[in-house]
Structure 1
């Protein structure tokens, strides 16, 4: 495995990262079907402010860049040293991302290992994260790295072709009249 070191983000790096992480999270929520495109950026900004009320200086939050031995930045980490739901001795990985041009080289696993090492160094006995169900690459990485599902949300899209009609009442009538 490639060795990835981590270093704290500078203030300028944090500011650039925060813009990117808000936009990325908004898009993830849209892709997952949780938010509409119209509301996503606003909701993502609100969530970010709630988690980081003091920005980079929010207590128990660690913001790191993953770097190779030659100094090349290959990714980013946001680790909460206290769990958002109060799980004892469990850190939380809010964000892990390998820079696009460095993906597919095993660096995600190396960055995840660096996150685990950092959490352990700060006294955590476990590290938890959330992954969207559509992100099969991440699901495979976490599963093969020893992470197990602790909770799971599932959804089924109940829309029909008829519901996409201009008049929702007509769609309801069509469904009722076609039922046995």
Structure 2
């Protein structure tokens, strides 16, 4: 079995991650049709800053670096110990990622297990996450790790309609 442990991110790792996660999150939101490309990275940075107002020192947040048995960084994770919608005893996994050069060798499953243990050690009774419907690898990983669908959003583009139609109230 692949061994992965987690430790707190260093300030340098946090700064690098802030840039990368904003770009990745913006790409995901654009691909999902939720945001336009214009200003998406700035919007992602703003959302992350709102969730992490004290950066690396924001209370009730786990900002973790996954490392292999040799101590080499292999990935990262971000867990909020308080659910964003206030659900009791439920932590939220905002981000988890294995470095692209290290994917495909079981490290994702091992990192997820290490993150789950760190979250349980911090006192959370359950962990929730969102995964985009187009992320087949992620969905497969989470299902095989025992995650179940708790909510689901669905979308259909209507013929003759605009998927970005705006409504106004007077």
Q: Which runs of structure 2 are paired with 1:75-94 in the superposition (5 Å)?
A: 75-94=75-94
Q: How many angstroms apart in 2 are the aligned matches of 1:4 and 1:159?
A: 48
Q: How many angstroms apart in 2 are the aligned matches of 1:60 and 1:76?
A: 17
The residue aligned with 1:24 is 24
The residue aligned with 1:167 is none
Q: How many residues align?
A: 162
TM-score, normalised to structure 2's length? Answer: 0.91
The residue aligned with 2:115 is 115
Q: Which blocks of at least 5 consecutive residues in structure 2 are unaligned?
A: 163-170
The residue aligned with 2:5 is 5
Deviation at 1:42, TM superposition (A): 2.0
Q: Which runs of structure 2 are paired with 1:34-53 in the superposition (5 Å)?
A: 34-53=34-53
Q: Secondary structure at the match of 1:134?
A: coil
Bigger helix fraction: 1
Q: How many angstroms apart in 1 are the aligned matches of 2:80 and 2:159?
A: 37
TM-score, normalised to structure 1's length? Answer: 0.86
Query: Please, what is the CA RMSD of the aligned residues?
Result: 1.4
The residue aligned with 1:70 is 70
Q: Which blocks of at least 5 consecutive residues in structure 1 are unaligned?
A: 164-180
